[in-house]
Amino acid sequence: MEEDRGRLLRFFKSLSEETVMLRFLRPIRFFEPEVERILDKNRTPVSVIASKEGLVIGSGEVYRIKGDEGELAVVVHDNYRRRGLGTLMMYMLFTEARKKGFTKIHAYTHETNIPMKRLAQKFRGKLIGMIEEDMYDFLFSVEEAIEAGTRVLREKGIVVKPVAEALNKHSL
Ligand SMILES: CC(C)(COP(=O)(O)OP(=O)(O)OC[C@H]1O[C@@H](n2cnc3c(N)ncnc32)[C@H](O)[C@@H]1OP(=O)(O)O)[C@@H](O)C(=O)NCCC(=O)NCCS
């Protein structure tokens, strides 16, 4: 836990200003409260981290809005973009969210955010309105997103399996 706190903090501090704006939708100077929020399971029921050689290179969360409805946020470090990590993390967020009982998930996305609009399209997010004047509100059905994501990952040759199942296969 203490280790995760430090690693996440270092990750967020390493992001460019532009990336911080796209991920948090506002400028942020001190990331400590954000990290505490992410590590608090009551406030952030779903959290996934991608790491490489001990460093966090991507982070994704689902926050609860109300009942079975959530809001997702995802960010991949600028140096690791366009390799499919965002797609994989979105898929993991939806599968973990389903386990926690979420059925609908929003993603608030700046209108200029091409990669996130592409991800919304891939996971069948529907544009249901605008938040303020320049922010899209995409709504995902968790079931549909998982179905679409499974197909997308298969096309990319990525197979996602529970760890136990994958280990079993290797020991045969
Ligand atoms: C959104 C984000 C997480 C995507 O991460 P990523 O690892 O680059 O995602 P992927 O590699 O899986 O790419 C997703 C799709 O977007 C496309 N894409 C990514 N960057 C792109 C760009 N700059 N221009 C056009 N398309 C782009 C990819 O080609 C891919 O589509 P494809 O599979 O049809 O080729 C990343 O850009 C990011 O961290 N942005 C800043 C934070 C943010 O905007 N978060 C979302 C708001 S919560």
**pLDDT value of position 171:** 40
Phi-psi region of 124 (alpha: psi -120 to 50; beta: other; left: phi over 0): left
Q: How far is the CA of 115 from the centre of ligand 1 (A)?
A: 3
Which residue minimizes the CA distance to atom 9 of ligand 1? 86
Q: Which residues line ligand 1 (CB under 6 A)?
A: 19, 22-23, 73-76, 81-87, 107, 109, 113-116, 118-119
Question: What's the gap in Å between 120 CA and the centre of ligand 1?
Answer: 10
Q: How far is the CA of 20 from the centre of ligand 1 (A)?
A: 15
pLDDT at res. 2: 77
pLDDT at 4: 86
Residue nearest to atom 47 of ligand 1 (CA): 23
| Nearest alpha carbon, ligand 1 atom 44 | 22
Q: Which of 118, 138, 158, 160 to mutate to test the pocket of ligand 1 (most atoms within 8 A of CB)?
A: 118
Nearest CA to ligand 1 atom 18: 115
Of all residues in the chain, the percent with pLDDT exceeding 90 is: 87
Q: What is the CATH number of domain 2-171?
A: 3.40.630.30
The residue ranges of every structural domain in the chain are 2-171
- What's this model's pTM, rounded to 2 decimal places? 0.94
Tell me the pLDDT tens digit for each residue of 34-85. 999 999 999 999 999 999 999 999 999 999 999 999 999 999 999 999 999 9
pLDDT tier, 14 (very low <50, low <70, confident <90, very high otherwise): very high
Beta carbons of 126 and 138 less than 8 angstroms apart: yes
- In the chain, what percentage of residues exceed pLDDT 70? 94
State the distance from the centre of ligand 1 to the C-alpha of 87, rounded, in angstroms: 8
Check: CB of residue 138 under 8 Å from CB of residue 120. Answer: yes
Closest CA to 158 of 96, 89, 93: 89
Q: Decide if pLDDT at 160 tops 90.
A: no
What would the mean pLDDT of 8-15 be, rounded to a whole number?
97
Phi-psi region of 54 (alpha: psi -120 to 50; beta: other; left: phi over 0): left
Q: Is the pLDDT of residue 172 over 60?
A: no
**Mean pLDDT over residues 140-160, rounded?**
93
- Arithmetic mean of pLDDT, 103-128: 98
Residue type for position 42: N
Q: Mean pLDDT throughout 99-108?
A: 97
| CA-based torsion, 68, 39, 166, 168: positive or negative | negative
pLDDT (average), residues 140-169: 84
pLDDT for position 49: 95
- 169 pLDDT more than 60: no
